[in-house]
Amino acid sequence: MSKPVVVAYLLLAVPILILLSFSRAPHMASRHPRSRRLAHPHHVAFDPLLVQIERRAEERGLLDVETFKRKLDDIWARQDWSKMAEEIGILDEYFGEDGRLNLTERLAYLFPLLDRLPQDGGISRYELDVWNQRQALDRLIYHTERKMKLHDHDGDGAVTLPEFLSYLPDEETARNSKEHGEPGWWKEQFSNADRDGNGFLSAFEFNDFLHPEDSTNPKIQLWLLKEKLREMDENKDGKLSFVEFGGRAQEIYQTYADFEEDDLRHHELDVEDEFRKLDINRDRFLTAEELKPIIHRLYPGELSQSKYYTKYLLHKADDDGDGKLTLEEMVHHQYAFYSTVFEEQQVDDYDDYDYHDELRR
């Protein structure tokens, strides 16, 4: 590989690396508080091939910018261009001049895989949602399996709390502080995920532990809602007044309003009416239990976001408004399927589960 070709290749590889890095799973983010706003796709992937590319790149350390830079520096210092393909060739394999990622061909290949219920030449919302839900579930399972291998030190197929917190010094794990992110806080989350109370998290329980916003475990859901209530409860009386709820209602309800099927996208939000719907006992306050009907808004996990992604794609690509996508419409809007749905923004002083720094270890 000649030096000019290498230089051109590096110019290509770096933006691709950045693209893949920004499309990583939500739990690999930083501790800075974030919220998700629909704008252009984020970690949601329509094409499983991109997920495979990302995983292969991650296994080679290419999604860590510092690791990637070290690889490039080493190749450049040794002037050994033969190592280029070995080290970072996966990027050229798909994104280079002769790369295999042809978006039109990929969409033509994927279309019949989605168009099944029925096979009528158009992809319905249901068919698209089934596909996106499957991709989301596969991402959750893959992430859990990787973290299980990392934390299951004795290889018994389960994770204990000491195994999970093994990265902390003993004096830190002995502390029972339940402040956000402290060992006592993790212990409570671990206990909630441990459905059978045996002190071990199976793969299923560990998935709940790692992805609480996607869990159907009532204890985990209640714990999440208590965390959210604590964040919103300005006077710390353990419940939400109308004023406290109203201060956050716009953010809670309007984030995905453009992709809702109900009247939220057509009418101004009636905060008082929404509060009344949630206030079951009519005491003019909201408890954590009463927030349960909107948990998908407070904590939109992978599965919830995949549903919004379905609506986003239909919104972007359904040119004739018939509620279905033809192959021609998808090709016409192909970059909507191969770019990013969720835009991360710094908000508030609290992080909605983008703080798992220890999961990087």
Contact 220, 191 (CB under 8 A): no
Q: Which segment of 46-55, 82-91, 196-205, 274-283 scores lowest on mean pLDDT?
A: 82-91
pLDDT at 181: 76
**Could you read off the pLDDT of 341-357 as tens digits, one per residue?**
334 333 333 333 343 44
CA–CA separation, 220 and 153 (whole Å): 25
Which of the four pLDDT bands, split at 50, 70 and 90, describes residue 178? confident
Using DSSP bridges, classify how beta strands 342-346 and 123-124 pair: parallel, antiparallel or unpaired.
Answer: unpaired
What is the predicted pLDDT for the residue at 333?
Answer: 95
Confidence (pLDDT) at 88: 55
C-alpha atoms less than 13 angstroms from C-alpha of 235 in its C-beta half-sphere: 9
User: Which of these ranges, 96-100, 169-173, 198-202, has the smallest mean pLDDT?
Assistant: 96-100
* pLDDT tier, 163 (very low <50, low <70, confident <90, very high otherwise): very high
SS3 of the chain: the string is: CCHHHHHHHHHHHHHHHHHHHHCCCHHHCCCCCEEEEECCCCCCCCCHHHHHHHHHHHHCCCCCHHHHHHHHHHHHHHCCCCHHHHHHHHHHHHHCCCCCCCHHHHHHHHHHHHCCCCCCCCEEHHHHHHHHHHHHHHHHHHHHHHHHHHHCCCCCCCECHHHHCCCCCHHHHCCCCCCCCCHHHHHHHHHHHCCCCCCCECHHHHHHHHCHHHCCCHHHHHHHHHHHHHHHCCCCCCCECHHHHHHHHHHHHHCCHHHCCCHHHCCCCCHHHHHHHHCCCCCCCECCHHHHHHHHHHCCCHHHHHHHHHHHHHHHHCCCCCCEECHHHHHHCHHHHCCCCEEEEECCCCCCCCCCHHHHC
pLDDT at 86: 56
Global model pTM greater than 0.85:
no
Q: Could you report the per-residue pLDDT of 90-112, keeping only the tens digit for each?
A: 555 565 555 556 889 999 999 99
Q: Which amino acid is at 183?
A: P
Domains and CATH numbers, the chain: 3-123+326-360 (no CATH), 218-300 (1.10.238.10)
Sorted by sequence, the CB contacts under 8 Å of residue 200 that are 6+ apart come out as 156, 158, 159, 160, 194
pLDDT band per the 50, 70, 90 thresholds, residue 260? low
* Alpha carbon distance 213, 155 (integer Å): 27
pLDDT band at 146 (very low <50, low <70, confident <90, very high): very high
- Tokens in use for 275? 């509060």
Does the pLDDT of residue 306 top 80, yes or no? yes
CB 308 within 8 A of CB 259: yes
Residue 175: is its pLDDT beyond 60? yes
pLDDT score at 51: 82
Contact 38, 256 (CB under 8 A): yes
Whether 37 shows a pLDDT value over 70: the answer reads no
Position 323 pLDDT exceeds 80: yes
The pLDDT of 50-58, averaged and rounded, is 78
Give yes or no for residue 16 having a pLDDT over 60: no
Instruction: Specify the pairing of strand 123-124 against strand 34-38.
Output: unpaired
Q: How confident is the model at residue 69 (pLDDT cuts 50, 70, 90)?
A: low
Residue range 126-146: mean pLDDT, rounded: 95
Q: What is the pLDDT of residue 41?
A: 36
Question: Which residue carries 């950045």 as its tokens?
Answer: 18
pLDDT of residue 180: 76
Question: Which residue matches tokens 């008082």?
Answer: 272
Give percent of the chain with pLDDT exceeding 90: 50
Q: Which residue has the higher pLDDT, 360 or 76?
A: 76
Label residue 283 by pLDDT band (50, 70, 90).
Answer: very high
What pLDDT, on a 0 to 100 scale, did the predictor assign at position 96?
53
Average pLDDT over residues 192-212: 97
Return the pLDDT at 261.
Answer: 52
- For the cut 90, the answer to whether the pLDDT of residue 193 exceeds it is yes
In terms of pLDDT, which residue wins out, 39 or 53?
Answer: 53
Backbone φ and ψ of 264, nearest 5°: -60, -30
Instruction: Map tokens 């893959």 to a residue.
Output: 142
According to DSSP, the residues that pair with 159 across neighbouring strands are: 201
- Average pLDDT on 52-64 reads 71
| 77 C-beta neighbours (distance < 10 Å), count | 8
Measure the CA–CA gap between 327 and 107, rounded to whole angstroms. 7
Query: How much is the pLDDT for 197?
Result: 96
The answer on pLDDT for 38 being more than 90 is no
Is residue 289 within 8 A of residue 222, CB to CB? The reply is yes
Residues 146, 333: Cα–Cα separation, whole Å: 34
Q: Lowest mean pLDDT of 31-45, 79-93, 116-130, 325-339, name the range.
A: 31-45
User: Which of 220, 181, 323, 311 is closest to 259 using CA atoms?
Assistant: 311
User: What does the block give as tokens for 38?
Assistant: 């629909």
Q: Is the predicted pLDDT of residue 5 greater than 90, yes or no?
A: no
First to last CA, the chain: 36
